[in-house]
């Protein structure tokens, strides 16, 4: 079923209300009959539904194998499996399905250079689960990497949102980009250039922002830009943390970081905060008019004070054209790669007087925006 997202229409309009009703109906129907299963390393022998388990853990030399039998119920659909784990630097965690006479690698490596505590969701088709089989996770390291596994039977609903890739409706109203459910690496959306508007990729990532260091990215704009919006996925932030962002030396006063639902399996107790969260969260920040300029623009990031740093991917910059001003699109050329910049060559470091906790200026990295070195806007 294809269904438009309510935000595709003006809020309060008849089409918005009708789309919202269909959206929430799709959310409510996204799960089927069999009860879900949840395995937690803190309670490894917890009670499970009849179709799942028991779980077995097999340690080996620098390898750990997690194994769980799955007996597909007659009323089951596709199976959405969310793995919450601790990533091992330089290691891997491979997900395998073994059925009668068939072995399928569902994900070659769950680890994707995010923060240490992370999660991935994989959708296993009903066709693959037609017969009883076993789910394996093989991981490297001194001990098991898995902390939690959530399994839900779902009937997927594909939602078509204007300007966005198709999305797959999953568990309890959760929505994933469909391209991220096949166990492969994330793919950034292409740049969008419309009349008076551009949505450009600054950095695909993953890009680490270490404590006590800063990261700088450069975006070149032609014409006279108006206001803008920064959008990214971030990993490694505690529920109460936000990064610091400056645009051309001015600190953004309001940075919004998504707060996932409290039943999200990514919440884990412990660490330097009462609760940690593993997984990508969406960050957005509004850039006021006149902060962006024609020519080179600098976007600086710093980790929150006292934190352990963060990882950023799919960092994008949306820019609107100044009303009534024509902006010329650039010629298409290749994307520049991030490169190290020393403190002596870094220009326009955010002034310390403008913020309470300035990021240190040494060892800034830079990247160049868009699929071209200059992003232009055109008012038509």
More confident residue, 4 or 191: 191
What is the mean predicted confidence (pLDDT) over 179-201? 74
Q: State yes or no: pLDDT of 242 exceeds 80.
A: yes
| pTM for the model | 0.75
| Nearest-10 Cα torsion for 317, 320, 322, 327 | 80
- Per-residue three-class SS string for 85-113: EECCCCCCEEEEEEECCEEEEEECCCCCC
Is the pLDDT at 290 greater than 90, yes or no? no
pLDDT bin (cut points 50, 70, 90) of residue 239 is confident
- Secondary structure of residue 181 in the 3-state scheme: coil
**Per-residue pLDDT tens over the stretch 305-316:** 777 889 999 999
- Is CATH 2.60.120 the right assignment for the domain spanning 192-376? yes
* CB-CB contact of 88 with 145 (8 Å): yes
Using CB atoms within 10 A of its CB, is residue 62 exposed (0-12), middle (13-18) or buried (19+)?
exposed
State the chain's mean pLDDT as an integer: 75
Confidence of residue 19 (pLDDT cuts 50, 70, 90): very low
Residue 355: what pLDDT?
36
Q: Which two tokens mark 153? A: 């039977």
- Please tell me the total number of residues recorded for the chain in this structure: 380
- Please report the pLDDT score of residue 174 as a whole number: 61
User: Would you identify the CATH topology of the domain 37-154?
Assistant: Jelly Rolls (2.60.120)
| CATH 2.60.120.260 residue window(s) in the chain | 37-154
Backbone angles phi, psi at 378, to 5 degrees: -135, 130
More confident call, 93 vs 214: 93
């Amino acid at each position: 079923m294809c269904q438009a997202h309510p935000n595709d229409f003006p809020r309060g309009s008849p089409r918005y209300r009708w789309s919202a009703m269909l959206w929430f109906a799709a959310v409510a129907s996204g799960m089927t009959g069999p009860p879900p299963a949840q395995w937690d390393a803190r309670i490894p022998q917890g009670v499970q539904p009849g179709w799942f388990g028991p779980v077995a853990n097999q340690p080996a030399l620098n390898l750990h194998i997690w194994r769980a039998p799955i007996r597909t119920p007659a009323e089951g659909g596709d199976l959405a499996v969310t793995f919450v784990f601790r990533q091992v630097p330089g290691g891997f965690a491979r997900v395998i399905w073994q059925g009668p006479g068939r072995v399928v690698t569902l994900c070659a490596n769950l680890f994707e250079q995010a923060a240490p505590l992370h999660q991935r969701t994989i959708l296993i088709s009903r066709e693959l689960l037609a017969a009883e089989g076993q789910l394996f996770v093989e991981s490297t390291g001194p001990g098991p990497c898995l902390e939690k596994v959530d399994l839900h039977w779902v009937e997927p609903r594909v939602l078509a949102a204007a300007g966005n890739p198709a999305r797959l409706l999953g568990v309890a109203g959760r929505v994933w980009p469909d391209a991220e459910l096949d166990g492969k690496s994330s793919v950034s959306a292409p740049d969008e250039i419309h009349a008076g508007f551009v949505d450009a990729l600054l950095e695909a990532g993953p890009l680490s922002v270490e404590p006590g260091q800063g990261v700088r990215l450069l975006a070149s704009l032609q014409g006279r830009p108006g206001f803008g919006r920064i959008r990214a996925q971030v990993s490694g932030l505690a529920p109460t943390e936000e990064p610091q962002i400056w645009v051309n030396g001015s600190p953004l006063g309001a940075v919004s970081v998504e707060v996932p639902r409290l039943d999200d399996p990514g919440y884990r107790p412990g660490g330097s905060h009462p609760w940690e969260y593993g997984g990508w969260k969406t960050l957005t920040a509004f850039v006021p008019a006149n902060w962006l300029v024609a020519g080179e623009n600098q976007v600086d990031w710093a980790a929150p004070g006292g934190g352990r740093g963060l990882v950023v991917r799919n960092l994008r910059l949306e820019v609107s054209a100044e009303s009534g001003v024509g902006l010329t699109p650039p010629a298409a050329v290749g994307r520049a790669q991030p490169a190290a910049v020393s403190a002596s060559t870094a220009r326009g470091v955010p002034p310390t007087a403008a913020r309470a906790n300035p990021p240190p200026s040494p060892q800034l990295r830079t990247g160049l925006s868009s699929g071209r070195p200059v992003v232009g806007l055109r008012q038509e």
